Structure 1
Amino acid sequence: MDFELTQRQAHFRDRVRAFVEDQIRPRLGDCRDQHAAGDRWQPLPIIEELKPKAREADLWNLFMPPAPAVPQVDDSFAFEGEQLTNLEYALCAEEMGRIPWASEVFNCSAPDTGNMEVLHRYGTREQKDQWLAPLMRGEIRSAFLMTEPGVASSDATNIECSIARDGDDYVINGRKWWSSGAGDPRCKLTILMGKTDPGAPPHKQQSMILVPMDAQGLRVERALTVYGYDDAPHGHMEIALEDVRVPASNLLLGEGRGFEIAQGRLGPGRIHHCMRTIGVAEEALQLMCERLQSRIAFGKRLSEHSIWEQRIAEARIEIEATRLLCLKAADMMDRAGNKAAKAEIAMIKVKAPQMALKVIDDAVQAFGGAGVSQDTPLAMSWAHIRTLRLADGPDEVHNRSIARIELEKHRPRDSN
C-alpha cells in the first residue's frame, strides 16, 4: 500500500492550495465588508472577481470526473474541467473547505456539483446544451428539490410531491424545503424528485425532472435559517409547487428512475461534503493552536496546560484518521464504482462531520466568548457542519447501512 501522492495528485492539490492562500484568504476582509454593506441576497462581487482568475489558472470544474458513459443517454457532450478522479479531487476539495466560499470560486460548490454530474451522466444532449453548459461556465446556478416538510424524508420512499403526466407535459404539485441555493438570483434550474407512479414498487415510484425556477406555479415562500444563519445569497428555501407544468422532455432518464439517479448523485455528493469538512477541521485546529499560544492564564500559556495538549493531540489523530478513510472511499469509488464503495461512503459520511464538530467545539472553547461571536468563523462553521449529520441522509440511516453490510459478512452458516 503506497501512501505517497502521485505527481498529478500533488500537482492539483498544491495549485488549489496556493490559489486559496494567495488569492482567496487575503480577500476575507473584503468579503465580510461586501456582505455587510450590500444587498445580502445578491452575489458578492469579490467572488465574481476571483472566478475568472481560477478559470485562467485551469482550476475550474475540478469535481467533474471522467465518468463512465451511461448507455441510455447521449454522452457526446464535451464538458469542461480537468476530469480529476475522486481521489485527486478529494485532495483539492479539502483545501477549498478551509474557507467557506472558496469552492464557489472554482465552480465546485454544492448543489451545482451534484446537479452537473446528474446532467452529465443522465441528461439528453438537449438538456445538456440548455442547462449543463451554462452551469459549467458559471453563468447560472441551480438547486436540488428532494426533502419535504410533511414527511420523514430520511426515507425517500415517503416523498409525496406529485409528477403527473398530462399530454406532452408533466404537472407537478407539492412542497419542498431545504432547497439550498434557491435563494440565489442566479439560480435558474431545479432538479426535483417526486412520484410519477404511486402504485409501483416503492423504489420505482419516484422520478426526477428539470424544473426552471421561473416556471409558473413555483413559489419561494421563505428562507430557512441554520442555527440563525440564513446563508444569503445562497439560502435554504421552502418552495411550493402548484400545478407547475413543464415539458415531458424535462424528465431525466425515464419514469421510475429517480432512486437510480439519486444514488448516482448522492454518492459523490456525500464524499464531496466530507472532503471539505476535513479542511474545515484543519482550519479550526490551526486557529485553536494559534489562540492557545497567544493567551496567558494562571501564569502560563494556555497551550502549556495539559488539558489543551490532550485536545490538540486528539484533534490531530481524528483528522488524520478521517482523511485516510475519506481517501480510501474516494479510491474505491474510482477503482470499483460507487456501489462497491457503499460502506466506505456511509462510514465517512458519519465520521467526518462528527470529527469536525468535536474539533470546532474545542476551538470555540479555546477562544472563549470570541468563539461564539462573529469575530471568528468557528460559530458559523459549527452550524454548517452540524447540518451535515442530516443532509444527504442522517447518521442513523448511514449507520443502518453499515450495520447491515457488516451483519451480512458474518451471517451464520446454514446448519444443514
Structure 2
Amino acid sequence: MIDFSLPQELVDLRERVRSFVENEIVPFERDPRLTAHGPTDELRQDLVGLARKAGLLTIQAPRRFGGRELTHIEQAVVYEAAGWSTLGPVAMNCAAPDEANMGLLAKIADPEQQEEFLRPVIEGGARSVFAMTEPGGAGSDPNQLLTEAVRDGDDFVVNGRKWLITGANGALTWIIMARLAPGADGLGGPTLFLTRGDTPGIEVERVMNTMDRNYVEGHGVVTFRDLRLPASAVLGTPGDAFRYAQLRLTPARLTHCMRWLGAADRAHSIAVEHARTRTAFGRPIGEHQGVGFQLADNEIALDNCRLAIWHACWLLDRGEQGRHEASKVKCYVSEELFRVADRCVQVLGGIGVTDETVVEMIFRDIRAFRLYDGPTEVHKHAVARRLLRARTTTPAVPAPAASGIPTPG
C-alpha cells in the first residue's frame, strides 16, 4: 500500500512557510534592490532577518548547527512552499548555490573548515559559491576542466578563468575546482579547494547580463591569478572533485525542482484567477476550451512533477544513490514547468508579457532553470546510456518465424 499522506507536523510547517512567504516576502518583489542581476546582498540580509525572526532560517541544516535536518521528502514539501516567491528561498537560506554548498560542506569538510566556512553561511551572515564552469572548459563536461593548481612547497597556486559563477560578487566562502598535477604522493587530478572570497588572487571581473534575476548578485566572471592556497585549503581528498560534485549535484537538482515547482504553482494560480475574472465573447475566458484546456494541462503537469520529485526524494531517504532518478526528474520537471509558465503567459494575454504580475519573471527564470545543473540533453544522454546498459540481455524485437512472417501470439 502506497501512502502519500504527510505527517501533520510537516503539513503545519508547510503552511507556516507558505504564510510567511506570502505575507512577509512577496511585498519585496517590487523592491528596487531586486535588480536585473538578482537581489542585492543588502536585500538578502533584510530578508534573512525576517526569516530568522520567524524561526525559519536555514531549517534544513544539520541539528549540530541548529537546523531541523530535514529529510529529502521534508525538503520537497518545504521548498515548494518557499518557492511561492523567488525571494522565499533567499530569505530562508535554502536557495542555490548556498543550499547545495552547505550540504556538501556538512558532508566532507573537516571540523575546522566547517567552523570557518560553513557556519557563517548557515547563520545567514555570508554567502558561498561553487566555482566550476569555465568559458572554454568545464561545463556540461567537467572533464574539460582547464583551471590548474600547481604545488609550490606546502602551498598550491591556482590559475584559471571561470564564468557563470553564481553569487561570486561579495561571497565569503569559495569552493573552487581545479586540475591538480600529481605530486610525490601520487595524488592529483580534479580537486576542490576551499578559501575566502577576499583572498588575493581572486578577481571578479564582472557580473554577466542574463535572462534570470532570482540569484543573489547574479552570475560572475572570475579570474584566478596566482591564487596561493595553503595545504589546509584542500576540500576532501585530492583528485576526488568529480565524485564530490556528484555528491552535491544529485540532491541539488532535486531542490532546484522543488523551488521552481512552487514558483510555477504561483504562476498557475495567477493564470487561474485571471481566467476566472477576465471575460471575452460573453463569458469568463476560462470557460473557453482554448484557455480551460491549458489550465487543465498545467494542473496535470504540476501534480506529475510533484510526484516525480517525491519519488526521487523517497529513494534518497532510503539511502540509495539516486543519480539516475535525479537526472530523470531534473530533465522532466524543468521541461514541464517551463511549459506551465509558458501557458500561464498565454492565458494572461497582453499582461503576461509585462511586469504587472510576476509571471513573466517566473517564465524567464524557469527558462534558465532548464540549463542549470545540467541541460536536458545531458540528462537524457545519461538516462539513455543507463537504459541501454541495463537492457542489453533483452531482445530488441521478437525473433521472426521460419517463414519470415511473425506468428500470432
Fold similarity call, TM over 0.5: yes
Cα distance in 2, alignment partners of residues 129 and 360 from structure 1: 41
* Equivalent residue runs for 1:259-408 within 5 Å: 259-337=242-320, 339=321, 341-408=322-389
Q: Report the more deviating stretch, 404-413 or 315-324.
A: 404-413
Aligned counterparts of 1:300 and 1:251: Cα–Cα separation in 2:
65
Conserved in 2, the CA contact under 8 Å of 1:195 and 1:207?
Answer: yes
Letter of the 1:250 counterpart: A
Letter in 2 for 1:10: V
Q: Which residue of 1 aligns with 2:180?
A: 196
Shift of 1:117: 1.3
Taking the aligned partners of 1:102 and 1:83, their CA distance within structure 2 comes to 19
Confirm or deny that 1:63 pairs with 2:49. no
Once residues 223 and 128 of structure 1 are traced to their aligned partners in structure 2, the CA distance between those partners, rounded to angstroms, is 28
**CA displacement at 1:40 relative to structure 2:** 8.2
Can you give the 5+ residue segments of structure 1 that lack an aligned partner in the other structure? Answer: 67-77
**For residues 11-410 of structure 1, what are the structure 2 equivalents within 5 Å?**
11-25=12-26, 27-28=27-28, 31-35=29-33, 42-45=40-43, 47-64=44-61, 78-151=64-137, 153-183=139-169, 185=170, 187-197=171-181, 205-227=189-211, 229=212, 233-337=216-320, 339=321, 341-410=322-391
Distance in 2 (CA, whole Å) between partners of 1:230 and 1:11 is 30
> Which residue of 2 is the match for residue 73 of structure 1?
none
Kindly state the Cα deviation for residue 167 of structure 1 after the two structures are TM-superposed: 1.2
Distance between the aligned counterparts of 2:139 and 2:18, measured in 1? 37
Partner of 2:403: none
Check the 8 A contact 2:60/2:75 in 1, yes or no: yes
Task: Tell me how far apart the structure 2 counterparts of residues 230 and 59 of structure 1 sit (CA, whole Å).
Answer: 23
> Aligned residues: percent identity?
35
Alignment partner of 1:163: what SS? strand
Measured at CA, do residues 262 and 331 of structure 1 come closer, stay the same or move farther in structure 2, by a change above 3 Å?
A: same
RMSD: 2.3
- How far the C-alpha of 1:208 sits from its partner, in A, is 0.5
Number of matched residues? 390
CA distance in 2, matches of 1:383, 1:210: 32
Cα distance, 1:151 vs. partner? 2.5
The Cα shift of 1:104 comes to 1.6
Partner of 1:72: none
Deviation, structure 1 residue 41: 7.4
Contact 2:39 2:216 in 1 (8 A): yes
How many Å separate the matches in 1 of 2:252 and 2:41? 23
Q: Distance in 2 between matches of 1:352 and 1:367?
A: 22
Matched residues in 1 for 2:297 and 2:145: separation?
41
Q: What letter is aligned with 2:86?
A: P
| Over 6 Å off, 4+ runs | none
TM-superposed deviation, 1:205 = 2.1
> For the structure 1 residues 282 and 41, does the alpha-carbon distance in structure 2 shift closer, same or farther, using more than 3 Å as the test?
closer
Deviations 1:3-54 (A, max 9, x none): 11123322322221222223223x23xx4234279x9874345x53443442
Distance 1:306 1:232, change over 3 A: closer
Cα distance change of structure 1 residues 247 and 43 upon mapping to structure 2, 3 Å threshold: same
Give the whole-Å Cα distance in 2 for the aligned partners of 1:383 and 1:139: 29
The residue type paired with residue 347 of structure 1 is K
Q: Distance in 2 between matches of 1:225 and 1:80?
A: 37
TM superposition shift of 1:408:
2.7
Report what 2:398 is aligned to.
Answer: none
Give me the whole-angstrom Cα distance separating, in 2, the residues matched to 1:209 and 1:271.
25
Amino acid at match of 2:30: R
- Please say if residues 280 and 356 of structure 1, whose CA atoms lie closer than 8 Å, have aligned partners that are also in contact: no
SS of residue paired to 2:372: coil
Matching residue's letter, 1:408: R
- 1:295, CA displacement in angstroms? 1.6
For 1:125 and 1:91, the matched residues in 2 are separated by: 30
Partner of 1:69: none
Does the 8 Å contact 2:38/2:213 carry over to 1? no
- Tell me, in whole angstroms, the C-alpha distance in 2 between the residues paired with 1:301 and 1:328: 37
Higher Rg? 2
Unaligned ranges ≥5, structure 2: 396-409
TM-score (norm 1): 0.88
Displacement of 1:413? 6.2
